[in-house]
Structure 1
Amino acid sequence: MLAEMYAGRRRVLLTGPTNTAVDVALEAVLRQIGEYELGSIVRVGQPALATLRQLQTPVLANELVDLRSAPLQKSQDDASEDLDSLRARHKELSRADGDAPEIRSIEVRIAEHQAFQRELDRIRADARRAVAINARLVAATAHQTLLSTLKGQTFDVVVIDEASMLPASLAALAAGAGRGHTIVAGDFRQLPPVVVSDEPNARRWLGRSAFEAAGIDRRVLRGDPPTNLVALKLQHRMPPRLADAISAGFYRENPLESAPSVFERRGEAGVSSWGPIVRIDTSSLRPRVAKRGGTGSRYNLMHAILIAAVLNNRELVGSAPALISPFAPQARLLEALVPEGGAEGEASTVHRFQGGERDVVVVDAVDSAAGALKLHPWFAEGNDGTTGARLVNVAASRARERLILVADFDRVHRSRGKDDALARSYRAAQREADALHPGEVVSPEVLFRQPDLASLRSDLESAQHRIEIWSQRVDKEAMVDLIRPLLGAASRGVQVTFWFEPDGQTDVPVALTPLQRSEVMLRPCRPIRESSAVVDDTVWAASGPLLSAAAGHSMRPENSPLAEAVRRITRRRELGGSAATGDAAGTCGRCGRLLVRLEARHVMAGCLSCDRPRLGGREKSKGRV
């Protein structure tokens, strides 16, 4: 459409919410147009895609200015070098208490150079504006349309891409750059603009896209779409079976159709014959969900370890998969599993990955029954238009060849009891999916039915730097063979921290009393949802409390980046009188007991004995948390 407008010599503004959205659309336009006149297409602002800097015929406004005014660029470069030299000389003289007249002379010259640079910047800004005025197709983010280069310019047509992520107020301002013809393109079944504030006016003006502000989403739901709405149903990305599953959940009124190119496209070499949807159900593992820093967003360490094992199977995931999750802490764990740069894959939240695509996409749902957290609203409320339905839609529709779903399906699907968009999508995906059991993915050396305490003891005995253990319950039987290695590690300078939940009247469980008055830092905390240990580069995770008789399944990979990521996710800050990670717990000034870290909406520290009326006792404290 944009290529046809360009050929018809109509002046067009292409805009969107982010640099990436604008660049992806612009690259597609350039492929359609082929050859174009220098200066007829201009990209204003800083591009997110490096390929736009490598074009034979430049489109970046700054590059076009440089081509047309080489002397101006040389003047700027020379002025910048002179200014750096003057500042260095001024610094040198000031440190040495140099000659005052010379210092004043240099300061005058610095001020003159700065004024000269400001004038050059003004000339350069005017040149950028002239470049944009003479272009037939201008690409810029919606925010750029309000800045000096484009301010006041008019266009025959304004095209807003990825408009579901752009606030309606900003879309209206961008549309104001046109003479009346605006095309708003996007998917209101995907993620809306991101708004931090809960204020009603912020939600109204910043949290709704143009589709929602115009009531289009509601009209489509009730079967009365407006006449100026065009539903693009032909999809060019996904295998048909995946597109059908997404249609069943989110596009019943306009089911997706697959373009011929999808059937003709050859998949990545080396990817095996597994189908376009693979389901890894972790219900049997009962993976544990915790919160970043005890109070933040959710993460699931056993899922991260499982996905690390999945990445070892290149026939399943290809050479550069995307790992995405709705929860930011889980995305941080997944980032530790892929090298930086993206050549061998990338990890991201669903929000950050909207608009992206990869041949293979691994989606980690995170939520699980273990951990005493309610089912997150993203999964509990899955009607059309809810955030959960939009998140799952975006996550599932990023894959070009294969979608791998990692989820406790007993929790996120079968326990919901609702027939909504999410339920329809899950059912369709499960019908089409190839199933893999976690035991088929994770090697027996990593996955145990019960914690291998002999291996844990060996890890503790060989530890050189740091040991951090999290276990809600601590049973004496589990600790019998671990007390000596923990004391030995602490005595040779290893930083040892043991986080546990106090039981009843005592701040330290009986099983841990041999560690009192040692170098081991005992840290009572309530509640503890973690069940893990990090011993140097080795990570332990269990479905039940790690050092209890009910530990359940456990995993033990050796992975240095993951170990460091787990330390960051579990790190506690000093808040409410409670010590931070790496510091010893405080003691009660009246009875000398260890202070318990209580992690509710507001973190606080208290003594189980002296502060019991204030803390509300064990049951009330737990309920408050």
Structure 2
Amino acid sequence: MTSTLFLIKSWQKALQIEISYLKKYGSSRYHLFNGRLVNQQLTFTYYFDSNERMNIPNGSSVRILWGSIKADGKVLSSEGEGMMVSLEESLGDLVEEAYLQHDPWELLEHLSDRLEDMKKSKQKRVRMKKLINPIMETKHPTDNIKNSLHELILRSKYNPVTYVWGPPGTGKTYTLARVAANKYLKGKRVLILSHSNQAVDVLMSETTAFIEKKGKFHEGDILRYGSQMSEMILKHEGLTAHQLLKKHYPELAYENEQLSNERRLLKNDLTQSFSIRDSEHLLKLETKLARLMEKIRQKELEFVKEAMIIGTTLAKAASDPAIYENNFDLVILDEASMAYVPQAALAASLGKRVIICGDFKQLPPIASSNHLLVNQWLKEDIFHHSGVADWVKKGSLHPQLFLLKEQRRMHPDISSFTNKYIYQSFVTDHKSVTTTRNHITESSPFSNQAAVFLDTSYMGNYCITAGQSHSRINLWQLFLGFQCIQEAYMSGNRSIGYVTPYRAQAIFMEKLLFDLYQVELATADIIAATVHRFQGSERDVMIFDTVDGDPEGRAGMLLTGKDSERLINVAITRTKGKFIHISNGSFVQQHVYQSKALRKLVEHQRQENQVIWPRDIGKWIKYQHPRLQWMYARKLEPVQQDIQSAKKSIVISIVNTGGLSNEWLNIIHLRNREVKLTLIASETIPAIQHNQLVLQNFPFPFICIDEQILWLGTPLDETENIRPPFVAARLNSKLISEYFLRQIQS
């Protein structure tokens, strides 16, 4: 058996490799401009402007990239769209443009330090060993178990480590909150941890609400510890250090508020009109705030010492001695499947008992390096490394694994796939999910259907790689995805999600929603995101856009790689009442192996008669948006009118240069000759007089007019991958048109 010291050294090595990778290559970059040298003493202090809010914690290590120079430094002030940094070397008096690189390597260094502490503590190593090698024999009594909640309470009382498998919708938050409350009512100290602030907030809010309902809440006993928290936490009185400070030490809270407001106004002035005097004032203000924060910090430590239930992130637990130097009766690690194994070990080392809760069928932890040790320890979860997941793979449950087995989120037509193919029939539906989801299922689009496969086969070659990101976009499926959102919204749905494996596609939808749906976004819960960002969320209606299609020669690794089953599982299980899967079925059949989850999903939905074929597009589109119109492609009058009305520019992509009809040549010929015409084609076209020719084998035809109107599906030239019905889409969006043109030109 591998020794605990050897494991700790392996984890530290993996962390150092990841840290080195992040320092060398980085992943988070921010564009800075108008850099001015503010102060020069032991270090060089610069003030930069930015077009985006960064909110990087003061004191964070960063790197400024300026040409070939890489200058390391610390953040002195980061609030709003201004940034003050202290650098180890000079960049001159003025820096026109630079990039700031900030990645969480400091958090990984803190974690490595905690592992070093673990080497020196036999107690912590014993706890860690029980986590990695859970014993086969359970110690809790099995007679007179009343229900699943009672069983988990007993398990967490008698067993040093309890693994909880919580598939989506099985009441994980409900159950964990009541376990935490039970320990609290018995005078035990509980630490609640997760990798994300959102997960901590959800569990702390549920725990507090339950204790309040019992009439047992005492101010200061329950503490949400940290700096970033949501409204669900702030609505509870006396749950945060800031709220407690304001009540018990109002003079400190008032001074902090005054100085923070002064800093905000000063930074706004600096953004509008920079001056050395104001920047030096800001530097002094930050120093004053730092001294005040140290006083506040001492009061916060008092709150932590008195609290019986503390909720915070894994990063905070690794970096704050108020947590990692403490000892708890029970530690609850939520969403453990997304935590690094060393983080899970840290959690286990902090308590006499630990509950490790998550779903190892969902997405694993994320790391950047591809080193063997990083892949082994930072890209796979504790369920797999402890052997718990292996038992499930063989068809049984490890003795220390507690399963929440009834899902109450998804309509059965949605969960039928995941229950069978992902969860191997370990998970079943609660009887309530059919009746409670009917009002969503009955609504548009696709009335009275809970699960739908919107097949885009033979509708065109719209899948391309975006710019230099190697991420993929598919404008046709993007437009269909927006149309599904429009149908759902117009039929009364206000909880709608659009999810995709590809960041580039998610960004396109974010921009499209921002441009066309600004009013709707203010009154509804509509979000577009990658699958990774969506884990932990849920919506009434979910649209899953796989993006992949012709002319790409293969499906992307996100949909076919080692973790593709977990990604697809997350995409499906965010849904309550209506799941719409947009995918190119013929492409999937040709390019995805039968053993892969995406192929199984397509075939399952076809077997269950959940397919909406391309020929049905005219039947399900009921609520056309004024700025996204669908029409018969062979009717050329609308596009002809747009071309002839062009005022500045026309961009036309032509795939088959020999396939243009005389009718099309005439439409192009009759345009205003003062309007700039750019052709994108694989060769010159003598029949068309143009201002610019871009020699490019672009995969699909499109027309963009005045960088405002974007046409897809117009029959400029015929391709074998388009079959009836012939449908065209007209989008009126300057934002999307300009962004699309930039993507294909980069």
Q: Distance in 1 between matches of 2:652 and 2:341?
A: 48
Amino acid in structure 2 at the alignment position of 1:65: L
Gaps of 5+ in 1: 97-102, 503-507, 574-579, 582-625
Aligned to 1:146: 318
Aligned to 1:305: 479
Aligned to 2:465: 291
TM, length-normalised to structure 1? 0.77
Kindly indicate which of the two structures has a greater share of residues assigned to strand. Answer: 2
Aligned to 1:234: 406
Aligned to 1:396: 572
What is the 5 A alignment of 1:325-404? 325-335=500-510, 336-337=512-513, 338-339=517-518, 340-341=521-522, 343-368=524-549, 370-380=550-560, 386-404=562-580
More moved, 394-403 vs 116-125: 116-125
Instruction: Give the one of 233, 258, 265 matched to 1:52.
Output: 233
Aligned to 1:521: 692
How many Å apart are 1:29 and its aligned residue?
2.1
Q: Distance in 2 between matches of 1:342 and 1:546?
A: 40
TM, length-normalised to structure 2? 0.65
Aligned to 2:641: 458
Q: Distance in 1 between matches of 2:285 and 2:560?
A: 62
**8 Å CA contact 1:471, 1:530 repeated in 2:** yes
How many Å apart are 1:244 and its aligned residue?
2.1
**Cα gap change, 1:77/1:564 in structure 2, threshold over 3 Å: closer, same or farther?**
closer
How many Å apart are 1:570 and its aligned residue?
4.5
Aligned to 1:484: 669
Q: Deviations over 1:272-292 (max 9, x none)?
A: 651221222222424521111
Q: Distance in 2 between matches of 1:548 and 1:23?
A: 54
SS at match of 1:390: helix
Amino acid in structure 2 at the alignment position of 1:187: D
Q: Distance in 2 between matches of 1:244 and 1:110?
A: 59
More moved, 170-179 vs 398-407: 170-179
What is the 5 A alignment of 1:36-435? 36-55=217-236, 57-78=237-258, 116-148=288-320, 149-179=322-352, 181-223=353-395, 225-252=397-424, 254=426, 256-263=427-434, 265=436, 267-268=438-439, 271=443, 273-286=447-460, 288-293=462-467, 296-314=470-488, 318-335=493-510, 336-337=512-513, 338-339=517-518, 340-341=521-522, 343-368=524-549, 370-380=550-560, 386-413=562-589, 416=592, 418-432=594-608, 434-435=610-611
Q: Distance in 2 between matches of 1:460 and 1:89?
A: 46
Residue-pair matches, total: 541
**Cα gap change, 1:85/1:434 in structure 2, threshold over 3 Å: closer, same or farther?**
closer
**Cα gap change, 1:79/1:251 in structure 2, threshold over 3 Å: closer, same or farther?**
closer
Q: Distance in 2 between matches of 1:311 and 1:283?
A: 21
Amino acid in structure 1 at the alignment position of 2:570: V
**8 Å CA contact 1:129, 1:150 repeated in 2:** no
How many Å apart are 1:347 and its aligned residue?
1.1
Q: Distance in 2 between matches of 1:460 and 1:403?
A: 38
Q: Distance in 2 between matches of 1:457 and 1:89?
A: 50
Q: Distance in 1 between matches of 2:575 and 2:479?
A: 22
**Cα gap change, 1:485/1:331 in structure 2, threshold over 3 Å: closer, same or farther?**
farther
Aligned Cα root-mean-square deviation (Å): 3.6
Aligned to 2:203: 25
How many Å apart are 1:146 and its aligned residue?
1.9
**Cα gap change, 1:206/1:533 in structure 2, threshold over 3 Å: closer, same or farther?**
farther
SS at match of 1:510: coil
**8 Å CA contact 1:287, 1:542 repeated in 2:** no
Aligned to 2:702: 532
SS at match of 1:480: helix
**Cα gap change, 1:378/1:316 in structure 2, threshold over 3 Å: closer, same or farther?**
farther
Q: Distance in 2 between matches of 1:350 and 1:311?
A: 17
How many Å apart are 1:15 and its aligned residue?
1.0
**8 Å CA contact 1:309, 1:441 repeated in 2:** no
Q: Distance in 2 between matches of 1:222 and 1:90?
A: 63
How many Å apart are 1:79 and its aligned residue?
5.0
**Cα gap change, 1:538/1:555 in structure 2, threshold over 3 Å: closer, same or farther?**
farther
Q: Deviations over 1:47-106 (max 9, x none)?
A: 442232222x23122222222110112233455677899999999xx979xxxxxx99x9
What is the 5 A alignment of 1:545-564? 546-547=716-717, 552=722, 555-561=727-733, 564=735
Q: Distance in 2 between matches of 1:293 and 1:426?
A: 29
Q: Distance in 2 between matches of 1:116 and 1:350?
A: 42
Amino acid in structure 1 at the alignment position of 2:655: Q
Amino acid in structure 2 at the alignment position of 1:510: P
Q: Distance in 1 between matches of 2:530 and 2:578?
A: 18
Instruction: Give the one of 1, 9, 14 matched to 2:192.
Output: 14
Gaps of 5+ in 2: 1-178
Q: Distance in 2 between matches of 1:410 and 1:87?
A: 55
How many Å apart are 1:195 and its aligned residue?
2.2
SS at match of 2:317: helix
Identity of aligned residues (%): 23
Aligned to 1:608: none
Amino acid in structure 1 at the alignment position of 2:702: S
Work out whether 1:471 is the aligned partner of 2:471: no
**Cα gap change, 1:547/1:201 in structure 2, threshold over 3 Å: closer, same or farther?**
same
Amino acid in structure 2 at the alignment position of 1:471: I
**8 Å CA contact 2:711, 2:731 repeated in 1:** no
**Cα gap change, 1:16/1:274 in structure 2, threshold over 3 Å: closer, same or farther?**
same
**8 Å CA contact 1:238, 1:400 repeated in 2:** yes
**Cα gap change, 1:184/1:85 in structure 2, threshold over 3 Å: closer, same or farther?**
closer
More moved, 57-66 vs 546-555: 546-555
How many Å apart are 1:457 and its aligned residue?
2.7
Work out whether 1:3 is the aligned partner of 2:181: yes
Q: Distance in 1 between matches of 2:434 and 2:503?
A: 35
**8 Å CA contact 2:555, 2:591 repeated in 1:** no
SS at match of 1:313: helix
**8 Å CA contact 1:41, 1:136 repeated in 2:** yes
